[in-house]
């Protein structure tokens, strides 16, 4: 198993070279870097005895037909794309690790009695366009054609980028699978947090994927001279924005299983001696319990309205993204938990995911399960993202147990 762990890390290092120049990994979908990493993944799929194909959503699919009568497919997968200056393990671990496991079984001459696929999904992160989960939504039947009009920073539409890549957006509806054809979807992913490290465990079993919502707020006040306008006469948009930031922080700190952030804040005119006339900001909330998230939203937005009124500000608020939380299937939590016990001799740590993953989309199609692998310092979306070969080996042992238990 130690050799498998080292092999997994070596392949992840090779995949990390398929990146734009600069720190970490920058690999957006429908680019030359996407094609380059796809060529590597395709080589590894064939070594594992899988047939390969690129689909019209830019996904790379590897498939082994299996030797039994059960034709329902067990799908493994994750995303090949990254955020800008991201890490080498986020997403790619969930592609490389099951391929190494399947290659191990293939080398031993073992044919599973059911079909297995590994899918390298396109555009989970949304680093180039403002959409996300594109490839997994296409497979699960949740693709929205309206996103094809979205443009990147250079004015290239998603549709144009896909066609230049060799994909045909018109063929996406035909990619949707039927629930009767799929047994389950399983994803292996670095935790991107400190829970497993604090618990001293290499792997954990995920119980739910967080719900996410994002808002854009604009506060409108009045610009005036910062030296001559009395404090009581000011309509300072930034003061209002600061109050909303503090309110979000307070609500999320006081609410279990709820996190939030103001990730963007722009002011105008942004001049040293002028009172800000406008503040544009984002609010993001996440929780594995949608009721908790919605309650936090209502409290924060109600206070935002009070803050705006107190400071004489106009307030425009729009919900721009919402994704409900998704629970992992109890039977898969159980299967993965038993595989963890068999591989490690330890009771599995169960935890929820505070990040979104392709499982959010795949849950529309089938039952989902997820394995988290320990992340040193909980660091992710960063060039210093790390993974220990020993932990990768433990995760591989869990997947091998799962594959053979299903058989």
For residue 284, the cross-strand partners are 214, 261
pTM of this structure: 0.87
Mean pLDDT of 278-297: 96
Per this entry, what is the length of the chain?
Answer: 407
Q: Where are the domains of the chain?
A: 2-209+325-406, 211-323
Q: What is the pLDDT of residues 245-261, one digit of tens each?
A: 999 999 999 999 999 99
pLDDT of the residue at 163: 97
CATH says 211-323 is which class? alpha beta
- Alpha-carbon distance of 36 to 80, in angstroms, equals 11
Mean pLDDT, rounded, of the chain = 96
pLDDT at residue number 100? 98
What fold does the segment set 2-209+325-406 form as a domain?
Answer: Aminopeptidase (3.40.630)
Give the pLDDT band (50/70/90) at residue 286.
very high
Q: Is the pLDDT of residue 407 over 90?
A: no
Report the SS3 class of residue 170: helix
Helix (H), strand (E) at residue 247: helix 237-254
As a whole number, mean pLDDT of residues 48-66 equals 97
Percent of the chain predicted with pLDDT > 70 = 100
- Evaluate whether 2-209+325-406 and 211-323 have a shared fold: no
Structural contact between residues 52 and 40, judged by C-beta atoms closer than 8 angstroms: no
What pLDDT sits at residue 62?
98
The encoded tokens of residue 89 equal 């393990």
pLDDT computed for residue 9 by the predictor: 98
Residue 20 CA: distances (Å) to CA of 15, 124, 167, 178, 394: 12, 18, 22, 37, 31
Give yes or no for residue 372 having a pLDDT over 80.
yes
Q: What is the mean pLDDT of residues 62-74?
A: 93
* pLDDT at residue 405 tops 90: no
Q: Is the pLDDT of residue 200 over 90?
A: yes
Q: What is the mean pLDDT of residues 231-252?
A: 98
- At 146-187, the pLDDT tens digits run 999 999 989 999 999 999 999 999 999 999 999 999 999 999
Cα–Cα dist 240/244, whole Å: 7
Q: % helix / strand / coil in the chain, to the nearest 5?
A: 40, 25, 35
């Amino acid at each position: 198993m130690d050799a498998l762990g080292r092999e997994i890390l070596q392949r992840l290092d090779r995949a990390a070279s398929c990146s734009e120049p600069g720190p970490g990994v920058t690999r957006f979908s429908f680019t030359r870097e996407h094609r380059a990493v796809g060529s590597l993944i395709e080589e590894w799929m064939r070594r594992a005895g899988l047939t390969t194909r690129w689909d019209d959503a830019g996904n790379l699919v590897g498939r082994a037909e299996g030797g039994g009568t059960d034709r329902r497919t067990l799908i493994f997968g994750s995303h090949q794309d990254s955020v800008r200056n991201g890490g080498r393990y986020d997403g790619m671990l969930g592609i490389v690790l099951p391929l190494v496991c399947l290659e191990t079984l293939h080398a031993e001459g073992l044919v599973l009695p059911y079909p297995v696929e590994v899918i390298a999904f396109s555009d989970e992160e949304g680093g180039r366009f403002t959409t996300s989960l594109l490839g997994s939504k296409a497979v699960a039947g949740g693709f929205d054609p309206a996103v094809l009009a979205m443009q990147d920073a250079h004015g290239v539409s998603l549709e144009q980028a896909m066609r230049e890549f060799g994909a045909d957006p018109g063929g996406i509806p035909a990619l949707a699978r039927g629930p009767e054809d799929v047994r389950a979807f399983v994803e292996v992913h670095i935790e991107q947090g400190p829970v497993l490290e604090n618990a001293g465990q290499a792997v954990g079993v995920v119980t739910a994927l967080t719900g996410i919502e994002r808002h854009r707020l604009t506060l409108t006040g009045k610009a005036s001279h910062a030296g001559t306008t009395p404090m009581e006469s000011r309509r300072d948009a930034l003061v209002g924005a600061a109050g909303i930031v503090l309110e979000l922080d307070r609500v999320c700190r006081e609410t279990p299983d709820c996190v939030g952030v103001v990730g963007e804040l722009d002011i105008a005119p942004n001049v040293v001696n002028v009172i800000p006339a406008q503040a544009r900001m984002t609010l993001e909330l996440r929780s594995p319990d949608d009721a908790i998230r919605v309650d936090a939203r209502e409290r924060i937005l109600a206070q935002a309205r009070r803050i705006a009124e107190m400071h004489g500000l106009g307030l425009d608020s729009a919900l721009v993204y919402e994704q409900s939380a998704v629970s992992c299937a109890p039977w898969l939590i159980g299967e993965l938990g038993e595989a963890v016990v068999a591989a490690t001799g330890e009771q599995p740590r169960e935890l929820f995911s505070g990040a979104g993953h392709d499982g959010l989309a795949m849950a529309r199609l089938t039952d989902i399960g997820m394995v988290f692998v320990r992340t040193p310092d909980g660091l992710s979306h960063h060039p210093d993202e790390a993974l220990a070969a020993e932990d990768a080996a433990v995760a591989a042992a869990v997947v091998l147990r799962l594959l053979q238990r299903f058989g």
